[in-house]
Structure 1
Amino acid sequence: MAATSKEHRLSQHVYATLQTLSCSLVEGLYLREADSMQELLCTPSQHRTDILAWICSSICPSLSKKLPSLRSKDPISLSQELAVFGQEMMLCRTDDLDLITGRACPLRQLWFLEQLLTLVPDSVDSSEDSRAGGEGLLKELFCPEALPHLTHALTPTLNPWPSDIRGARKGQRSLPSRPRGEEVAGVTALLESTLAALEQLHDQCVFLRGEEASPSRFSVCALRVAVSDLAQMMSVFSRVYDTDFRSYCSRDPPSLRSHTHIFSTVHRLLTACNTELEVLRQVSEVSVCLSDTVNEVHSDPCYWSHGHKHTLSTQLEHLTKRYTEFLSLHHGTDSKLPLTEP
Structure 2
Amino acid sequence: MAGGLTENRAAHRVYESLQALSCPLVQDLYLQEDESMLELLCRPSVLRTDILAWICCRINPKFGTSKGMPEESKDPDGLEKKMAVIGQELMLCKADDLDLIKGTASPQRQLQFLQQLLSFVPGFKTSAGSSTDAEVLLSQIFAAENTPHLRQMLQPALEPWPPHIEALHEGHDSAHKPGEELPDVSDLLQSRQTELEQLRSKCDFLDSDEQNGSAFSPSSLRLAAGDLQQQMMTFSHLYETDLRLYCSRDPPSFSTDAAVFQRVHQKLLACNTELEMQREISEASGSVSEDVKRLQTQPRYWSRGEKHTLTDQLEEISQRLGSIVSQLDT
TM-score range, shorter chain: 0.3 to 0.5
TM-score, normalized by length of structure 2? Answer: 0.37
TM-score, normalized by length of structure 1? Answer: 0.35
Of structures 1 and 2, the one scoring higher in RCO (CA 8 A, sep 6+) is 2
- Bigger-Rg structure (1/2): 1
